[in-house]
Structure 1
Amino acid sequence: MADGISSFWGPVTSTIECCEKNYAYSSYIAEFYNTISNIPSILLALIGLINALRQRFEKRFSVLHISNMTLAIGSMLYHATLQRMQQQSDETPMVWEMLLYMYILHSPDWHYRSTMPTFLFLYGAVFAVVHSVIRFGVGFKVHYVILCLLCVPRMYKYYIYTQDVSAKRLAKLYVATLVLGSFCWFCDRVFCKEISRWPINPQGHALWHVFMGFNSYFANTFLMFCRAQQRGWTPKIVHVLGVLPYVKIEKPKTQ
């Protein structure tokens, strides 16, 4: 989109721009709504992190929530500047996050405990280095979608083996926010010319950020519930102020 005010960060060097007018509100923020729409993701990840630490969940979940925050902050930097380097601070954490999800989903059945995390760590490190040199473009999106699809069968297995109604509702909310967010992202990318002529831009990419913030929170909470069941911690889904769900556990005294 064309610039509105002078640019503090200089010419756009990122390979992707969204359907939002650049520097419309501030010379320091290229895409205002796409930047601030990451705030809910940070707050939700912080809530998840506090719950994981307070109830002494395994460290993997603390790392997962921190990963969500890192991704949201990277996205803020990218949309605020529209610079190639900051674009990597958005895209690389996306891949790291999916590798972490793969570890959490598959680790209970992994026979050699050090092999899987070592492989995933090396894969993430190599990707970060290669991605800093090569502009993948469409290749990045294909790669990311493949990583997401690799998680789907395992996530579905967790769903069908979970009997708790509240936990199943979390999984359904995860799917619903993913579908709604993807729809907003698709419309913003494909129908930008038409949307730009509307009196008000619905900011589809910003809505994608908000939906995906809740999507990550619901996914994390569902996985925490499933893991607590595996460990025999008698988990149950409770709600903050009757609205936001989280997992409450009761560990055996021997643990």
Structure 2
Amino acid sequence: MADGISSFWGPVTSTTEWCEQNYVYSSYIAEFFNTVSNIPGILFPLIGLVNALRQRFEKRFSVLYISNMILAIGSMLFHATLQKVQQQGDETPMVWEMLLYIYILYSPDWHYRSTMPTFLFIYGAVFAIVHSQIRLGIAFKVHYIVLCLLCIPRMYKYYIYTEDRSAKWLAKLYAITILLGSLFWLCDRLFCKEISRWHFNPQGHALWHAFMGFSSYFANTFLMFCRAQQRGWNPKVVRFMGLFPYVKIQKPKAQ
């Protein structure tokens, strides 16, 4: 804690702290950079949500974008307070978000339509209850990584069967940003003692948040393109002002 600045939220009760000095800029924000770096994770999903609603994509994408925003808001509250309850409000949505990705990735080839969402909903509810009662620690991280790894084979399959070059670039940008973010996250965890002695802290965990904001948007946009192809909606990746990519579709009149 910085000298002369007291904590509005009281003693730290979360099980995890990151390599950022607490309460340096405000008594209301424990980890300033780790808090504000979640802003891209709110703005980008909001843009995606507007596009999904405007073009009447399936509700699964609206729910996914809302899930992205809930996760970013939960992360902001956690890093601002470093309290146990807020930590659960960050970690539980992480798992729910991955369950949504699993559903979107695998449901098109799932023959029993009601079983997958029912199972994933029960799984998410049970996890939330267990996580609220037990501090999972390293078990949570392993569990989350396993859920992420389950998505990789399907994402790769979508990538190799996609011929559109712009859509393939979205998948590549997703991979690049998530790898860079993960690298910064790992360095922040493994080399915190060394980093703390530097005159300048690169804020690796904050960079992880920022890169994940980009990464999730690229992944969502790529999945929207793939799903639109499956539905025969003639999707195209276009760019707003020549920079910001989004999916534009043309549904048959019957739809």
Q: TM-score range by the shorter chain?
A: over 0.9
Per-residue deviation, residues 167-204 of structure 1 (Å, max 9, x unmatched)? 00000000000110001101111111111111111111
Indicate whether 1:227 and 2:227 are aligned: yes
Amino acid paired to 1:234: N
CA–CA separation in structure 2 for the residues paired with 1:17 and 1:178: 21
Give the 3-state SS of the residue equivalent to 1:247 in structure 2.
strand
CA–CA separation in structure 1 for the residues paired with 2:182 and 2:2: 26
Runs of at least 5 residues in structure 2 that lack an aligned partner in the other structure: none
Match of 1:125 in 2: 125
How far apart, CA to CA, are the structure 1 residues paired with 2:130 and 2:71? 19
Query: Aligned partner of 1:19: which letter?
Result: C
Q: Percent identity?
A: 79
The letter for the 2-side match of 1:151 is: C
Q: CA separation in 2, counterparts of 1:242 and 1:198?
A: 39
Alpha-carbon shift at residue 244 of structure 1 (Å): 1.1
For 1:179, the equivalent position in structure 2 comes to 179
Q: State the 4+ residue runs in structure 1 displaced beyond 6 angstroms.
A: none
| SS state at 1:68 partner | helix
User: 1:7 and 2:19 equivalent?
Assistant: no
Residue 90 of structure 2: aligned partner:
90
Cα distance in structure 2, aligned partners of 1:244 and 1:64: 19
**Which residue matches 2:167?**
167
Look up the match of 1:77.
Answer: 77
Once the 2 structures are TM-superposed, how far is the Cα of residue 3 of structure 1 from its aligned partner?
4.8
Q: Is 2:24 the partner of 1:24?
A: yes
TM-score normalized by the length of structure 2: 0.99
Distance 1:198 1:55 in 2: 49
In structure 2, what is the equivalent of residue 35 of structure 1? 35
Secondary structure at the residue paired with 2:103? helix
The number of residues matched between the two structures is: 254
TM-score where L is the length of structure 1: 0.99
Task: Tell me the residue number matched to 1:134.
Answer: 134
* Structure 2 residue aligned with 1:247: 247
Corresponding residue SS for 2:9: coil
Counterpart AA for 1:178: I
Counterpart residue number, 2:116:
116
Q: CA deviation at 1:39?
A: 0.5
